[in-house]
Structure 1
Amino acid sequence: MSKTKQYTKEEIATHNKPGDLASFLSLEVLLWIVVDSKVYDLSRFGAMHPGGFAVLLDDEVAGQDATDTFFSLHRHEVLLRPQYARLQIGVVPGETEQIKPRAIGAKSEIPYAEPTWLTPGYHSPYYTDAHRKFQVAFREFVERVVLPDAQAREEDGKRPSQSVFDEMAKLNIIAMRFGPGKHLEGRTLMNGLVKPEEFDCFHELIMAQELGRLNARGYTDGLGGGTAIGLPPIINFAQPALRDRIVEEVFSGQKFVCLAITEAFAGSDVAGLRCTAKKTEDGKHWIVNGTKKWITNGAFADYFTVGCRNEKGMVVLCIERQEGLETKLIKTSYSTAAGTAYITFDNVKVPVENTLGPEDKGLHVILSNFNHERWGMACANISSQRVIVEECFKWANQRKAFGKPLNSQPVIRAKLAQMVARIESAQNWLENVTYQMNNMSYNQQSDKLAGQIAFLKMYSTHTSQETAADAVQVFGGRGITRSGMGKFIEHVLTATEQYHRTVPFDAVLGGAEDVLGDLGVRQALRKMPKDSRL
């Protein structure tokens, strides 16, 4: 049957009654509805309708234009699913489709769904036309290549597909995720869209925020969250031969790294690590014993950047997966696609050449990594909040309560106002910090930005929990349902990850909020003028 055949509203209105078994067997059409100018035949589907056949026989549904009713219950994507799309039998003459999904890679037109620099008519001192072209290309890649895999892997809990890593490697996306630097020299980035020497911290911010839009928290971590924090110590402190081999294996998408610092006995208290490394008598190897816990990507990592105690204090080692090193998947509140693991080291033998930095400077190696990790988490966290704000604006506009749109209620508008204030303030703070990063050396960043970044991460993760709580209130019962209208609120993209449940992850990973706040204040106090008085 042609999907373009025209049916008048009068003709559609006559198909509004249930039939008996004989009617169904004879394929007599009995129940039609209109949704956004399209005519759907639900006669044979009615008995399978998840909400029951009776819902479809409502006077405002059967034989009627049920557009408003449909979108008060379902997301637009439902109409695109093959099993439902084939129910369309025609169109209403003189009417055109009004509701269309955003095209792949396109910007959202919903207020505050995009940061100011991507909103038409606004300006920014930070971004150039080159940044804007890069954002367009990268969003298109993420939504075309990464998003479908994110949806599937969040549902089955498996690690991200190798095909995605392969596609990322072709464009040198994996290399770019580590920011500007010598590691980009000689590489073709995004098919030549940006030159290695032009790639800066704002390009990296764009990448982090576009991936944050997936709102698939476990999957995003599985896509390289462990490598993003486990490889920098190797890049910065490993001996050249080891560094160059691992970097190429990782950038090609074939191998993965994780940062193994946290233990059951030591989280933010890095100095309390119990995993030990002792040298052999000939001094050629380390023997590592102990455990690590909650290690992102640990379940499928090939290399482990491990913090250990030794006789001089603390040492950091690059350990390859081998006999005596065992990993066990940990099921956390977010998807197992992240590969979160418990790791056991049982007399693991590590060449002394795999030592990262001086033997007595392990704490420096670990701490030097935290700023970038926390900055990246803030980027993604703020971006994922923005997606939730977009969902709330859409829902408040289309949902009717007490005969009026939900956004006519002052209490709802007040919640939206608070959400917008939070994401816009966090975004502007983030961009200011990123500008400083662009204009400071690595040592200057460590001195001047550690406290700023700690505060920024603390603020963004704290506000994201407030946004999650407000969003649930805006969506009501749908905000705690794993499918349908509120699925981005209760869960993210699939039935395995919940925004409201997983958003506290960022408040813990990379340093708990209270610890980071104290860090920022202590850094400020160290810079207090000695002659300052009230």
Structure 2
Amino acid sequence: MALQPFGDQTPGCEPYWYQGYHSAYYGPSHVAFRKKCRDFVEEEVRPYLEGWISGGVSYPLELHGKALARGLPTAGLQKDVQRRYPAEVLPEGGLDALHELIYLDELAAVGPGGALGQCGINSMALPPVLFAGTAEVQRQVVDEVISGRKNISLAISEPTAGSDVANIGTSAAREGDVYVVNGQKKWITGGHMADFFTLAVRTGARGASGVSLLLVDAKLPGVHVRKMPMQFDTCHGTTFLTLDDVKVPAQNLIGQEGQGFMYLLHNFNHERFVISASTCRFARLCYSESLKYSLRRKTFGKALHEHQMIRWKLSEMLRQVEALHDFNERVAYQYKCGVPDAKLGAQCGLLKVMASKTFEFCAREAAQVFGGSALVREGPGKMVERLYREVRASAIPGGSEEVLLDLAARQAVGGALAQLAQAKSKL
């Protein structure tokens, strides 16, 4: 169906369906939700983001309650999560992964900075609790996070184990009715905002089979959280956790001992989708900032856009951004149709790599268009300067490009070998 124009009608500065083109994915509920997201971001985020970042403070957590009151999710839209939202908040028929794509895209449209970023982290840390946690574990945290009153962060990575999740070293030794936890966690997004952690620990031997998950109250004695200075500006934050003889009730075990790695796999791919959706809008911002600047700036006696090389840069940016947006929609549609997260590993891995590589290309080309103005944190190029520093935050967290490309290749090879074996068995 063809949809009414919405937002900036400058070619390419909004997704294609915002500009009156036909789409097979979106209907009236998506159109209404898009406006709801845009209105909220323009009223509650854009006017304040610069102040939050420059002041070095987190965005106000009251935003979560405000978002929920206006029908916007505080912890993602996976089916297990969505069932816990108040009925009056969600529209009839609920929200799907395409609504989530719209929400993530609209939040990113103000530029990097992490406003409401904890909602995305909640969407990564809560599903293992819902999938495998007991009723008591869920009682402690689920409704509080859904309501926007509390937050939960996913604590997996360590100083010596980033993408290598199977080899984490933080230990949890069972002593009667508690697990005694010792270790360190690094790059934990939103840790300073978290009331709880979905904590990956080692309860058994080396390797994936020794990994378990615990729900950890952030206020327990021995839990120390430190916000880390990062390469990019943020009003959200990345943290370092130190756990010194933290006594966690044994009933806070999420699922079964030794199954933690498998529980995490049920949500890793959704995390990559979340990152890719925001990254796509960041890449689009590189293009839109460059296009509009090329109309104003003159060099060698003519406007920038009159130089053939500048037009090439603009068209190459847009080509990659539109392809990335199509890929985001395709993956979102798979989620909407009920394809399990565990079956989307290669697709989400390739999507995230495509997102970070597209963003890196666009950030570089935008910086070249802006020249010296892209090197300073003020003036016409300050958005491009900030975007440029955000690139590695898309390329590394959630699985580095190298790890994800290898994952996709290994799954392809495994599938090919299985097909070959099946064909040989029929001979």
Supply the AA of the counterpart residue of 1:164.
Answer: L
Measure, in 1, the Cα distance between the counterparts of 2:141 and 2:94: 25
Higher normalized helix content (fraction of residues)? 2
2:393 is matched with which residue? 505
Q: Retained in 1: the 8 A contact 2:84–2:146?
A: no
Q: 2:274: which partner in 1?
A: 376
1:320 maps to what in 2?
A: 217
Aligned AA (2:331)? V
Kept after mapping to 1: 8 A contact 2:84/2:143: no
User: CA 1:348–1:133 in structure 2 vs 1: closer, same or farther (change >3 Å)?
Assistant: same
> Residues 112 and 393 of structure 1: is their aligned pair in 2 closer, same or farther, counting only changes over 3 Å?
same
Residue from 446, 452, 455 that aligns with 2:350: 455
Once the two structures are TM-superposed, the CA of residue 171 in structure 1 deviates from its matched residue by: 2.7
Regions of 4+ moved over 4 Å: none
SS at match of 2:200: strand
Q: Any gaps of 5 or more consecutive residues in structure 2?
A: none
Q: Which residue matches 1:81?
A: none
In 2, distance between residues paired with 1:189 and 1:148?
29
> Which amino acid is the alignment partner of residue 96 of structure 2?
D
CA distance in structure 2 between the partners assigned to 1:201 and 1:294 by the alignment: 27
Give the 5 Å matches for 1:314-353: 314-321=211-218, 322-353=220-251
Aligned with 1:215 (options 111, 119, 122): 111
Question: Structure 2: how far apart are the matches of 1:210 and 1:421?
Answer: 20
Aligned to 2:379: 484
Larger radius of gyration: 1
Paired residues of 1:173 and 1:189 also in contact (CA < 8 A): no
Deviation at 1:263, TM superposition (A): 0.3
Helix, strand or coil: the match of 1:173?
coil
Please state if 1:518 is matched with 2:411. no
- 1:185 shift after superposition: 5.5
- Please say if 1:205 is aligned against 2:101: yes
The secondary structure found in structure 2 opposite 1:219 is: coil
Matches within 5 A, 1:282-297: 282=176, 284-297=177-190
Deviation at 1:148, TM superposition (A): 2.4
Q: What does 1:153-232 correspond to in 2, within 5 Å?
A: 153-175=52-74, 177-181=76-80, 183-184=82-83, 187-188=86-87, 194-195=91-92, 197-221=93-117, 223-232=118-127
Q: Which amino acid aligns with 1:513?
A: E
CA contact (8 A) 1:176 1:204 kept: no
1:474 maps to 369
Match of 1:111, as an amino acid?
A: P
Aligned counterpart, 1:238? 133
Counterpart CA distance in 2 for 1:142 and 1:237 is 34
2:25 match: 126
Mapping for residues 227-266 of structure 1, pairs under 5 Å: 227-266=122-161
Q: In the TM superposition, what is the alpha-carbon distance from 1:523 to its structure 2 partner?
A: 1.0
Q: Does 1:149 align with 2:48?
A: yes
Which sections of structure 1, spanning at least 5 residues, go unmatched? Answer: 1-104, 491-497
Tell me, in whole angstroms, the C-alpha distance in 1 between the residues paired with 2:115 and 2:391: 14
- Give the TM-score normalised by the residue count of structure 2: 0.92
Q: Do the aligned partners of residues 144 and 269 (structure 1) sit closer, same or farther apart at CA in structure 2, a change above 3 Å counting?
A: same
CA distance in 2, matches of 1:513, 1:263: 19
Quick one: which amino acid aligns to residue 438 of structure 1? K
CA distance in 1, matches of 2:253, 2:135: 12
Percent identity, please.
32
Aligned to 1:530: 420
- The higher relative CO (CA closer than 8 Å, separation ≥ 6) is in 2
Q: Deviations over 1:296-339 (max 9, x none)?
A: 01123110111111125111101002111111111111235223
Rounded Cα–Cα distance in structure 2 between residues aligned with 1:180 and 1:348: 33
Aligned equivalents of 2:81 and 2:290: distance in 1?
A: 42
